[in-house]
Amino acid sequence: MKEAFYTYIEKLQDRITSKLEAIDGKAKFQQDLWQRKEGGGGRTRVIENGNVFEKGGVNISAVHGPLPESMQNYFKVEDVDFFACGLSLVIHPVNPMVPTVHANWRYFEMYDKQGTIVDRWFGGGQDLTPYYLFEEDAKHFHQVCKNACDKHHPEFYRDYKQKCDDYFWNTHREEARGVGGLFFDYCREKHGFSIDNWYDFITEIGDSFLEAYVPIVEKRMQLPYTPAQRTWQEIRRGRYVEFNLVHDKGTLFGLKTNGRIESILMSLPPHVQWVYDHHPEKDSEEEKLINVLKHPIDWV
């Protein structure tokens, strides 16, 4: 399974980076191959200073070795070995009318000292973070997510949409990071679902990503915007940074397993602002976004 899934994410990385380069028309992804001394490595691809994308990363990795003690405590296991692979992406567009997007699809195995698999699961999801709310964009993104989920189980979209709303919640701000999407984790062999069934599901979600995001980019990337709207985008990016550094489990896992710091922090946008006690004007487009972030809604 680990070989099959790593081959899949290698090909998916190629498809996504090729499509995003074609949309941008200027910038190209720079590739960085790296090794982890404890075992494994990855292929980082970063795009910067483009016509459409200010900064983005589409990274794959496969790491293995003894599970660090801090993560043993987290997973409540004894001295075990692990293997983890996945694709993680974050795209920060130039135009504040185009939303930031994040996605991650991953597979994890744990072994006893005889090399026998003692646990394995899939996880991941994809979510949208707009700076200006176009309701039809949120509906499109969620509809694509639902269509992919519905092919595998009638309750998956409802359940994983709710998990996404719960997970990408900045508790210290009492607001969502964005308008959500899907989030799922610990997808194990249970309830009649084999690990092969989960592989089919997660690859379906991965295959749906470009359909979910690209039409939104193409619709919004030529829209005019003002310096004030760009400032608002940078203020909202600050909330994105706060979530990733305070709450995100993937960032925590990377840092605690001696992951590659540049790849872990590639999710951070290049230009961000923190303005003291900032509040948008009443009845403005900015306030409209905040109201939705404080009270997540069902888009489909």
**30 contacts 59 by C-beta, under 8 angstroms:** no
Partners of 176 in beta bridges: 169
Q: How far apart are CA 186 and CA 182, in angstroms?
A: 14
**58 contacts 16 by C-beta, under 8 angstroms:** yes
Strands 40-48 and 53-66: antiparallel
Q: How far apart are CA 277 and CA 268, in angstroms?
A: 22
List Cβ neighbours of 223 (8 Å cut-off, separation of 6 or more).
Answer: 95, 97
Helix (H, G, I), strand (E, B) or coil at 131: coil
Phi then psi for residue 98, to 5 deg, are -100, 130
CA-based torsion, 18, 21, 25, 28: positive or negative: negative
| CA angle, 198 then 168 then 55, to 5° | 90
Q: How far apart are CA 121 and CA 111, in angstroms?
A: 13
Q: How far apart are CA 268 and CA 271, in angstroms?
A: 9
Distances, alpha carbon 105 to alpha carbons 22, 162, 184, 228, 272, in Å: 23, 18, 9, 35, 27
Q: How many CA atoms, within 13 angstroms, populate the side-chain half-sphere of residue 84?
A: 21
Partners of 288 in beta bridges: none
Of 102, 152, 279, 295, which one is the catalytic site residue?
Answer: 102
The closest alpha carbon to 123, from 172, 37, 195, belongs to 195
Active site residue 152: no
Active site amino acids: 102
